[in-house]
C-alpha cells in the first residue's frame, strides 16, 4: 500500500481518537470543569451533532476544491479545534471547540475514502478504503485507552495536546505525500442530491442512526458505569477500553465477512445480539469478570454492523457516492448524539447507571424493526434494491 494511504489512516486515527477519547475522560472533565456526568456527556452529543450537521455543509463547501486541498483544509480545521480543546478554560469553550473539531469529520472521511480508492489499482480499492478506516478502528484499540491513561495521569487537556501533535504530523504528511489528482471531475451536487429520492437510502440511513444511538447510549457512559457500579479503578477502566477496542476490531472483521454473504441477515442478527447483550449488561455490570466478558461481547456484536451498514448505504446510493458516503458518516454521528442524550437522560432522571444498557437495548430493537421493514424475509436482501432503470 502506498505511503499516502498510510497518511490517510493516520489522519483517521487522529480523528477517531479525538471523537471517542472524551468518553474515557468524562469523570476527569466533569470534576475539573464543575459539571455533572450527564453534563459532560453533552460534549459527546455536541461533537456528534457537529459532524451530522456540518458534514453536508462541509462537503458542499469543499466540493470545488481539488481533493488534496480539501483534505489539507479539513485537517487544518481539526488541528485548530483540538488546540482549542487543549486550552479550554471552561465548559462552554470546550463545547465550542468540540463542535469546531467535528466540522471536518464527515467530509474528511467522505473525501478521504474516494482518494484512498484512487491510490491503488481497481482490484485493490476495497482493501485501500478498509486500510484507511483501520485508523478509526485503531483509535478505539490504542488511541482511546492510551489517551485515557494520559489524561488520568497528566490531566485531560494533555490528551488533546497529544492529538493536536498527531494532527500536525498528519497534515505535514498530506501536504508532502498526497498526490494531486489531475483527472478529477467537478462534483455535480445537483445530480447527487437527486439520487437521494428512493426510500431504500433513507431506511438505510435510519438503520445507521439507530445502530449508532444504541451503541453510544452505552459507550458514552461506560467509564462511570465501570467506576461507580462495577468498582473498577481508573487504570482498570483503561484496560477495559482496550478490551472493548479489541472487540470492536474483531467485530469489524467478522461483520465484513458475514455481510459479503448475507447483508440483511447480518444486520438482523447483529441488532438482536446488541439488544440481548446490552440487556444482560444491566445485571452483569455489578461484578468485574461478568462485566468484562459482556462488554467484550457487546463490542464485537456492535462493530459487526459497521461494514454491513456501509455496504447497505452504498448499495442504494451508487449514483451519489460522495454525498452518500458523507451523509452516512453524518448518520453515525447523529446516532452518537441521540444515544449520548438518551443515556444522559436516563441518569439525569435518577434511573441509575444500570438502566443505561436497557436504554441501549431498546434502541437496538428499534434498529431491528427498521431493518425488518427494509429487508423482506421472503424477498431476500434485494427487497428494496434500486430499480435498474
Q: Is the pLDDT of residue 122 over 70?
A: no
Burial string for 2-23 (b: 16+ CB within 10 Å, else e) reads eebbbbbbbbbbbbbbbbbbbb
Q: What is the pLDDT of residue 56?
A: 78
Which has more pLDDT, 260 or 92?
92
Q: What is the pLDDT of residue 180?
A: 78
Q: What is the pLDDT of residue 126?
A: 56
Assign 181 a pLDDT band (cuts: 50, 70, 90). Answer: low
Q: What is the C-alpha separation between 374 and 81, in angstroms, rounded? A: 38
The reply to whether 188-389 shares the fold of 1-186 is yes
Q: What is the CATH number of domain 1-186?
A: 1.20.1250.20
Measured torsion, CA atoms of residues 29, 170, 54, 39, in degrees rounded to the nearest 10: 0
Contacts with 218 (C-beta within 8 Å, 6 or more apart), sequence order: 225, 278, 281, 298, 339, 343, 356, 357, 360
Full DSSP string of 5-70 = HHHHHHHHHHHHHHHHHHHHTHHHHHHHHT--HHHHHHHHHHHHHHHHHHHHHHHHHTTTS-HHHH
Q: Sketch the domain layout of the chain as residue ranges.
A: 1-186, 188-389
Which has more pLDDT, 27 or 256?
27
Is the distance from CB of 244 to CB of 20 less than 8 angstroms?
no
Distances (CA, A) of 312 to 1, 196, 261, 363: 26, 14, 13, 19
Q: pLDDT digit string (tens) for 303-356? A: 888 878 877 776 776 666 667 777 888 888 889 889 989 999 999 888 889 999
Comparing 9-23, 76-90, 170-184, 230-244, the range with the smallest average pLDDT is 170-184
Q: What is the C-alpha separation between 245 and 252, in angstroms, rounded? A: 11
Which has more pLDDT, 178 or 316?
178
Nearest to 47, CA basis, from 107, 111, 94: 94
Q: What is the pLDDT of residue 321?
A: 64
Burial label for 156, CB within 10 Å (0-12, 13-18, 19+), is: buried
Look at the domain 188-389 and name its fold: Growth Hormone; Chain: A; (1.20.1250)
Q: pLDDT digit string (tens) for 150-163? A: 999 999 999 999 99
Q: For the residues 43-60, what does the mean pLDDT come to?
A: 83
Is the distance from CB of 198 to CB of 26 less than 8 angstroms?
no
Is the distance from CB of 104 to CB of 15 less than 8 angstroms?
yes
- Give the residue carrying C-alpha cell 485537517: 75
Amino acid at each position: 500500500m502506498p505511503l499516502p494511504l498510510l497518511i490517510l489512516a493516520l489522519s483517521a486515527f487522529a480523528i477517531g481518537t479525538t471523537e471517542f477519547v472524551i468518553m474515557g475522560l468524562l469523570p476527569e472533565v466533569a470534576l475539573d470543569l464543575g459539571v455533572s456526568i450527564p453534563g459532560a456527556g453533552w460534549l459527546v452529543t455536541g461533537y456528534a451533532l457537529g459532524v451530522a450537521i456540518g458534514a453536508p455543509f462541509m462537503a458542499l463547501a469543499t466540493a470545488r476544491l481539488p481533493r488534496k486541498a480539501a483534505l489539507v483544509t479539513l485537517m487544518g480545521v481539526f488541528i485548530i479545534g483540538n488546540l482549542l480543546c487543549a486550552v479550554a478554560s471552561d465548559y462552554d469553550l470546550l463545547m465550542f471547540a468540540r463542535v469546531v473539531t467535528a466540522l471536518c469529520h464527515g467530509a474528511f472521511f467522505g473525501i478521504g475514502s474516494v482518494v484512498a480508492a484512487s491510490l491503488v489499482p481497481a482490484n485493490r480499492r476495497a482493501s485501500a478504503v478498509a486500510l484507511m478506516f483501520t485508523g478509526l478502528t485503531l483509535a478505539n484499540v490504542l488511541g482511546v485507552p492510551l489517551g485515557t491513561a494520559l489524561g488520568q495521569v497528566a490531566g485531560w487537556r494533555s490528551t488533546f495536546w497529544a492529538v493536536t501533535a498527531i494532527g500536525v504530523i498528519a497534515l505535514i504528511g498530506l501536504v508532502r505525500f498526497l498526490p494531486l489528482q489531475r483527472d478529477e471531475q467537478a462534483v455535480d451536487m445537483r445530480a447527487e442530491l437527486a439520487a437521494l429520492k428512493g426510500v431504500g437510502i433513507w431506511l438505510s440511513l435510519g438503520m445507521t442512526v439507530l445502530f449508532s444511538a444504541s451503541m453510544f447510549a452505552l459507550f458514552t457512559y461506560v467509564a462511570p458505569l465501570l467506576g461507580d457500579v462495577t468498582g473498577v479503578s481508573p487504570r482498570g477502566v483503561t484496560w477495559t477500553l482496550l478490551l472493548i477496542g479489541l472487540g470492536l476490531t474483531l467485530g469489524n472483521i467478522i461483520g465484513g465477512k458475514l455481510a459479503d454473504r448475507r447483508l440483511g441477515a447480518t444486520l438482523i442478527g447483529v441488532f438482536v445480539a446488541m439488544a440481548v447483550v446490552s440487556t444482560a449488561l444491566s445485571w452483569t455490570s455489578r461484578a468485574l469478570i461478568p462485566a468484562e466478558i459482556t462488554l467484550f461481547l457487546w463490542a464485537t456484536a456492535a462493530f459487526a454492523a459497521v461494514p454491513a451498514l456501509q455496504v447497505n448505504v452504498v448499495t442504494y446510493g451508487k449514483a451519489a457516492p460522495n454525498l452518500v458516503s458523507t451523509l452516512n458518516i453524518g448518520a453515525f454521528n447523529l446516532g452518537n448524539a441521540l444515544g449520548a442524550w438518551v443515556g444522559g437522560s436516563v441518569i439525569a432522571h435518577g434511573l441509575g447507571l444500570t438502566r443505561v444498557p436497557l436504554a441501549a437495548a431498546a434502541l437496538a430493537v428499534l434498529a431491528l424493526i427498521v431493518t425488518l421493514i427494509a429487508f423482506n424475509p421472503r424477498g431476500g436482501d434485494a427487497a428494496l434494491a434500486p430499480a435498474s432503470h
